[in-house]
Amino acid sequence: MPGWTRSRVALPENQGFDRCRLDSGRPGLRVVVFGGTHGDETEGVLAANRLANAELTLLSGILEVVPIVHEAAYYNDTRTSPLDGGNLARAFPGDPEDRPTGRLAHALHTRVLAGADLLIDLHTSGQTYDIPFLAGYIDDGRDKKGLGKRAARVFGADFVWRHADRAPGRTLSDMDAAIYTEAPLPGPTDAAFVDKYYDGVLRVLAELGLIDRSAAPKPAPRPAQRIVSGGDVDKDLQPATTTGLFIPTVRHSEKVARGQLLGRVIDIAGKVLEELRSPHDGWVVVLKRRPHVKPGDQLVSVAVADNRT
Ligand SMILES: [Zn+2]
């Protein structure tokens, strides 16, 4: 089996991406791995690039890796594009006549994602939110083979988050089967999560028969907590109704009870303007990190246990 081939998809305005491809020469699934959909999330880039240089013996199918999906944002160390302010994870499926971010989404959609069996999109939580180590997938009936569920469950994250709905504009939005990952503690690059992401992708590849199980790490030592709820950080969180400073009273991953205080919005005199309480028993899965809030800002989300097998 020949090794990796690397090609450049070049787009106007110096945009584009490197596409790394390992073809087993045998029938099987085509799995795509993305790093750097958001430019300030480095662990996924490092894990994806490690994968694209790994000596893997592929038993079936095709593995494709784009280590830095959004180069303009990555080399600018920003979540969004310095060219047009666009958030690539809100720009899919894109449009060739659009601004640079939309054009990039269109190229990724048509030239890499179209026809792929599974996407693994490696995010970390970025600067705005704290999020547990999780693998999320969409469960709206389109993933007939259940590849997203299987992939999310074997990845080795602390939480597996099932979403009944499909948020618009994401890399996943037009995929029948896809997972995304998140990890907490945005800040300096966390080498431990680079390892966890790399190991997680190998577990998925073994689960789906692309590599031998002996080539993948053992399952994670403790099984993931399965959770379910809407996961659209643009609209599914509890919003602020006042302007002030948000003071959380819980941490990400924390188990909380219905009615438990999750945080307060205060003014600069310390007066409590509003309290946010958990609507149900569950786990804190998204928590705003930045203190300043205004009405409508998404602050916190509590997901409930997913009891579906
Ligand atoms: Zn992200």
Q: How far is the CA of 269 from the centre of ligand 1 (A)?
A: 34
Q: CA 259, CA 279: separation in Å to the nearest integer? A: 6
Continuous segment of H or E residues that includes residue 50: helix 42-51
User: According to the model, what pLDDT value does residue 231 have?
Assistant: 63
Tell me the one-letter amino acid at 138. Answer: I
> Locate tokens 């995304």: which residue?
180
Grouped pLDDT means (10 residues each) for the chain, 309 residues: 90 93 97 96 96 97 98 96 96 95 97 97 89 95 96 97 91 94 85 97 98 95 88 80 97 96 97 96 93 95 91
- CATH architecture, domain 5-228: 3-Layer(aba) Sandwich (3.40)
Question: Is 141 buried (19+), middle (13-18) or exposed (0-12) by CB count in 10 A?
Answer: exposed
Q: Where are the domains of the chain?
A: 5-228, 238-305
CATH code linked to domain 238-305: 2.40.50.100
Q: How far is the CA of 126 from the centre of ligand 1 (A)?
A: 6
User: According to the model, what pLDDT value does residue 29 have?
Assistant: 98
Q: How far is the CA of 123 from the centre of ligand 1 (A)?
A: 4
User: According to the model, what pLDDT value does residue 14 have?
Assistant: 85
Q: How far is the CA of 144 from the centre of ligand 1 (A)?
A: 26
What are the backbone angles phi and psi of residue 77, rounded to the nearest 5°? 55, 45
Q: CA 15, CA 86: separation in Å to the nearest integer? A: 13
User: According to the model, what pLDDT value does residue 34 have?
Assistant: 98
Give the number of other CB atoms < 10 A from CB of residue 114: 11
Instruction: Give 77's contacts (C-beta < 8 A, 6+ positions apart).
Output: 39, 40
Task: Give me the residues near ligand 1 (ion), CB cutoff below 5 Å.
Answer: 38, 41, 123
* Tally of CA atoms within 13 A in the half-sphere of 132 that contains its CB: 27
